[in-house]
Amino acid sequence: MTAGIIDGKAVAARVREGLKTEVAAFHAATGIQPGLATVLVGGDPASEVYVASKRKSSVAAGMADLHQHLADDASQAEVEELLKGLAADSSVSGILLQLPVPKHLDAASLVELIPFEKDVDGLTTMSVGLLAQNKPGLRPCTPSGVIELLDSYEVPIEGANVVVIGRSELVGRPVAQLLVNRNATVTIAHSRTKNLAEVCRGADIIVAAVGVKGLITAEFVKPGATVIDVGIHRGPEGLSGDVDFAGVAEVAGLITPVPGGVGPMTIAMLLANTLRAAQLQHELAAV
Candidates 7, 121, 204, 229; catalytic one = 121
Q: Is 232 annotated as a binding residue?
A: yes
Q: What is the DSSP letter of 11?
A: H
State yes or no: is 54 an active-site residue.
Answer: yes
Q: Are strands 94-97 and 68-70 parallel, antiparallel or unpaired?
A: unpaired
Q: Is 129 annotated as a binding residue?
A: no
Q: Give DSSP secondary structure letters for 150-192.
A: HHHTT---TT-EEEEE---TTTHHHHHHHHHHTT-EEEEE-TT
Q: Taking the alpha carbons of 261, 266, 267, 270 in that order, is the dihedral positive or negative?
A: positive
User: Is 142 among the residues that bind ligand NAD (CB under 6 A)?
Assistant: yes
- Closest approach of ligand NAD to the CB of residue 145, in Å: 7
Q: Are strands 233-235 and 254-255 parallel, antiparallel or unpaired?
A: unpaired
Contact (CB, 8 A) for 208 and 216: yes
By CB under 6 A, which span of 43-51, 93-101, 120-128, 186-194 interacts with ligand NAD? Answer: 186-194
State yes or no: is 213 an active-site residue.
Answer: no
State yes or no: is 121 an active-site residue.
Answer: yes
Beta strands, E only, the chain: 4-5, 35-41, 64-65, 68-70, 94-97, 161-165, 185-189, 205-208, 226-229, 233-235, 238-240, 254-255
Residues 219-238, interacting with ligand NAD (CB under 6 A):
230-232
Among 251, 262, 275, 280, binds ligand NAD (CB under 6 A): 262
What is the edge-to-edge ordering of all strands in the sheet holding 205-208? 4-5, 254-255, 226-229, 205-208, 161-165, 185-189
User: Is 165 among the residues that bind ligand NAD (CB under 6 A)?
Assistant: yes
Q: Is 53 annotated as a binding residue?
A: no
Nearer residue to ligand NAD within complex by CB, 63 or 209? 209
- Closest approach of ligand NAD to the CB of residue 24, in Å: 27
Among 266, 273, 274, 281, binds ligand NAD (CB under 6 A): 266
Candidates 54, 229, 242, 244; catalytic one = 54
One-letter amino acid of 2: T
By CB under 6 A, which span of 60-68, 120-128, 184-192, 270-278 interacts with ligand NAD? Answer: 184-192
List, as residue ranges, the binding site for NADP(+): 166-168, 232
Binding site for ligand NAD (CB under 6 A): 142, 165-168, 170-172, 189-191, 193, 196, 209-212, 215, 230-232, 262-263, 266
List, as residue ranges, the binding site: 166-168, 232
